[in-house]
Chain A
C-alpha cells in the first residue's frame, strides 16, 4: 500500500471543508484511483475543529490518515494548521490559509491564541505555503468561496490539470454557484 497518498483538509466547522474534500474525491475517482475519505458530521460541525481525510492509490484500506503520513495538509485556519501539523510527513506540504478564528476558550480568556504560527509551523516541514484565501474569494465575488480558492492553491501542487479540476468543481457544487466557484478556483490556481 506504499503508493497510497494522503491528504488532510482541516478547519473549523462551517468553513466548507466538506465540499472541498468532495471536489477532490470526485476528481480522484474520475482519474481511476481507489479513494477513501473520512468526513465529520454531527456535533463537531457546530464550529468545532474538523478534519477530513482523503486517501488514494491503487488499493486503499484505511480511510484515516496516520500521524506523520500526510503528503498534503490543507488548513483553512491557522490554529487548526498547528493542531494537525504532526500529521505531516517529512517534507510534506502544508498549505495554510491566513485566517484566525478564535475558539471559545480564547474568547472567554481561559487560554491564549498561539503567536507566530507561521514560524512554528515550519518546525514540522520546510514546505509551507501561506495564502490569504479570504481576499481571493472576495475577488471572485463571494466570501463563502474560501474553500474552493484553497482547492485552487492546492491544485497547483498536484499532477492533475486545471481542466480536470474545473470538471470536478462543476460536478460537485450546486449549479448556481458554479461560476463564482470557478472564479475562486482560478484566483487560487493562478496565485
Chain B
C-alpha cells in the first residue's frame, strides 16, 4: 500500500468524520483515497488555510477531523495553525504536512519540522506505510488526550513508497458534545494569555509522554555505533548499518531528553541521521550532548540514501561502473495537446515579461517556449505583476501575469482585488483548463464537481472578475493563436486592469478527443522549423523535414495552426 493510502486507511480506522484538504505533491493521494470511504465526509478546499480551518471547526463541533497539505501548503495554513495550538481541540484534530526532500515536485525544500517547534505542537513521523497507518491512529489518541492538534509529517519517499500494511476495522467514535467555552475558543488577548500557559504546560507533558511513548523506540545491537534518526532516514540507516544500535524517533517534537541521554551514554559514537535541517541534532546539543556527528558529515541539501549513510559512517564507497558521457537531461514537458502551449507560443512571440505562477503551465518557462520570467508561490503572479506596475511603468507596459484556474481560486482572487482597488492596470491571463492539472486532475471550484464527483455550484470566472471591478474581460481560445495575439495586444494597450480567460480543457481529460489525424506533407514542408517553436514532444526533425511521432501525437492540431505554408493538415 502507498504511504498516502495507508494514512487514508488510518483515518478510516480511527473513525475520522471530516477531511478537508488542498492538493499538493506528495500529499494528494491521501485525500483522494479517503474520498472512497462513505463514512468520511471529504472535500477539496480552495486552499490550505481554508482546509485547516474547516478541520478546526469540525473538531470544535465534536468529531475527529483531518487536513492534508504539502510543505508549502502549511505556510498558507500557518495562521490558523499557530492559534489552533492555543485553542486545542474537542474532537481529535490531525494534519498531514508532506515534505519534498530532493525537490521532486516543489518550488522549495523547506523542513516543516520547524513548524512543530514554532507552533509548539507535537509532530509524529512514520518511516513506512504500516507505520503511516498506525501512527495516524495514534495521533488521534494524542490529540484528544493532550487537547492539541497533532502534525503528522510525511515525505515524498514515505508518501510515494509502497510497503505491506495489515488492515483493521473502523472504530466508530462517539462525537463529543459541543460546549460553549469562550475561554478556550475565543482567542482575544485576555484569553490567549491564559491559553499560552496551557500550551507551555502541554509541551512539557508531551515531552514526558515522549519518554515512554511507543512512537520512540530503542534497538540495541552493536553499541560501537549509535544512530538517532526518524522517518525515511531510519530506513536508509538500517539498510546501510544494520548492526548498529538505533534510537528511532517516531515523535520528532517534542523529543525525549532522558531517552536520548541514555542512548548517547550507551553508545560509543553517535550519529544523528536526518534529512534537511539539523532539527534533532540541535535539540541534542541543546540538552548538553555535544560529542555527536550530524551535519558535520551529512548534507543539509536533498535526500539521504543508504549509500550516502554507508559511505559517511562506514567509509564504504559503492562499486559501480560510472557513466562518463554527458547525456541529455529529460525535464518534464507540457503534454502533447496541452492547451497551455498555445498561449506561451504567443507570449514568447510578443517578447513579454511574464509573471508566472505554479501549475503545469510553469513548464512554459522552459525552452523553446521560454515565456515565464518569475515563479514564486501560488497567487504571486498577479500580485507581483501589480508590483511591477507600481515599481516600473516601462516594464509594466510589456508585462502580463499568467495563472491557472485552481491557483486563481487558491490565492489569485485577493491579488486581483489588490489591482482593481489600488488603481493598477495589469493584464492577467487565467489559464482555464477546467481542472487542477499539475497534481493529477483534482476537481476545483471552477469545474462544477466535488471531490466525490457530485455536481455542484460552479464559480463563474467572468462574473467573479466583473464583481471585483475588472471591466475588461475577454475569453479566447489558446489554440487560435492569431486571435489570442490580437486580444493580448489590445488588452495590454489599455490603461486599465484586464483579465483574459484562455479557455480550453486539459488534453488528458477523458472528454477531450481530437479525431482528425494530423499529417505533414513532406513535399510541402520546407524545414523552416516554425512548428518546433511550440516545443511539442511529438514533433521532431528528420533530414530537414518535420516528422510527427504518431504514438505521442494527440491530434490537437496546434502545429497546423502555426505552420505558415500549410504543410500540416488536420
Binding site for B on A (CB under 8 A): 1, 12-14, 22, 25, 29, 34-49, 60-64, 66-69, 79-80, 82-83, 85-90, 101-108, 110-114, 120, 123-124, 134, 143
- B interface, by DSSP: helix, strand, loop or mixed? loop
Q: Are A43 and B551 within 8 A (Cβ)?
A: no
Interface contact B360-A124, CB-CB below 8 Å: no
Q: A42-B439, A86-B320, A107-B540 are in contact. Are A36 and B367 (CB under 8 A)?
A: no
* Interface 1/0 per residue, B326-362 and A, CB below 8 Å: 0111111111000000000000000000000000100
Asked if A42 and B26 make an inter-chain contact with CB atoms under 8 angstroms apart, the answer reads yes
**Contacting chain A: which of B12-20, B56-64, B156-164, B446-454?**
B156-164
Residue in chain B with minimal CB distance to A41: B160
Q: How far is the CB of A47 from chain B (nearest CB, A)?
A: 4
Known: A12-B330, A79-B327. A43 touches B438 (CB 8 A): yes
**CB-defined contacts of B543 to chain A, threshold 8 Å:** none
Is A63 a contact of B328 with CB atoms below 8 Å?
no
Q: Which of B366-383 contact A (CB under 8 A)?
A: 366-368
Q: Could you tell me if A43 and B306 are in contact, using CB atoms closer than 8 angstroms? A: no
Q: What is the distance, in angstroms, from B335's C-beta to the closest C-beta of chain A?
A: 6
**CB–CB A41/B305 < 8 A:** no
A110 and B366 CA atoms in complex are apart in Å by 12
State the CA gap A134–B551 with chains docked (Å).
10
Cβ-defined contact, B160 with A114, below 8 A: no
A87 to B29, CA, bound (A): 29
Counting from the closest, the 7 A-B pairs by CB-CB distance are: A68-B320, A42-B105, A42-B25, A48-B332, A103-B330, A46-B332, A63-B161
Q: Which of B161-208 contact A (CB under 8 A)?
A: 161-164
| Contact between B329 and A105, CB atoms less than 8 A apart | yes
Q: Which residues from A are CB-within-8-Å of B552?
A: 101
Contact call A41/B327, Cβ cutoff below 8 A = no
Q: A86-B321, A101-B552 are contacts. A62–B439 as well, Cβ < 8 Å?
A: no
Q: How far is the CA of A83 from the CA of B325 in the complex (A)?
A: 10
Question: How near does chain B come to A111, taking the closest CB pair, in angstroms?
Answer: 4
A-side contacts of B242, CB under 8 Å = 1, 61
Interface string of B128-145 (1 = CB under 8 A from A): 100000000000000000
B332 touches A64 (CB 8 A): no
Binary A-proximity of B96-131 (CB < 8 A = 1, otherwise 0): 000000001100000000000000000000001000
Cα–Cα, bound, A89→B163 (Å): 24
Residue from A1, A79, A120 in contact with B330 in the complex, judged by beta carbons closer than 8 Å: A79
Q: Can you list 27 contacts pairing A with B, beta carbon distance less than 8 Å?
A: A14-B335, A36-B162, A36-B163, A38-B160, A39-B161, A39-B162, A41-B26, A42-B438, A42-B439, A43-B25, A43-B105, A46-B363, A62-B239, A63-B162, A64-B236, A66-B306, A66-B318, A68-B319, A68-B320, A79-B328, A86-B323, A88-B321, A104-B333, A104-B535, A107-B535, A113-B328, A123-B321
Contact B320–A87 (Cβ < 8 Å): yes
A186 vs chain B, min Cβ distance (A): 22
* CB under 8 Å from chain A, chain B span 231-256: 232, 235-236, 238-239, 242
Contacts A42-B104, A62-B239 given; indicate if A48 touches B163 (C-beta within 8 A). no
Residues of B within 8 A of A13 (CB): 332
How far is A62 from B242 in the complex, measured between Cα atoms in Å?
Answer: 11
Of A34, A62, A82, A105, which one neighbours B305 at CB under 8 angstroms?
A: A62
Chain A residues with CB under 8 A of B366: 104
For A43, list chain B residues within 8 Å (CB).
Answer: 25, 104-105, 332, 438
B105, A41: Cβ atoms closer than 8 Å:
yes
Contacts of A113 in B (CB 8 A): 328
A108 vs B534: C-alpha distance when bound (angstroms):
10
B322 to nearest A CB, angstroms? Answer: 6
Q: Tell me the nearest residue of chain A to B321, going by C-beta.
A: A124
Q: Which residues of chain B come closer than 8 Å to A123, judged between CB atoms?
A: 321
A38-B157, A48-B330, A64-B306 known; A104 and B537 CB under 8 Å? yes
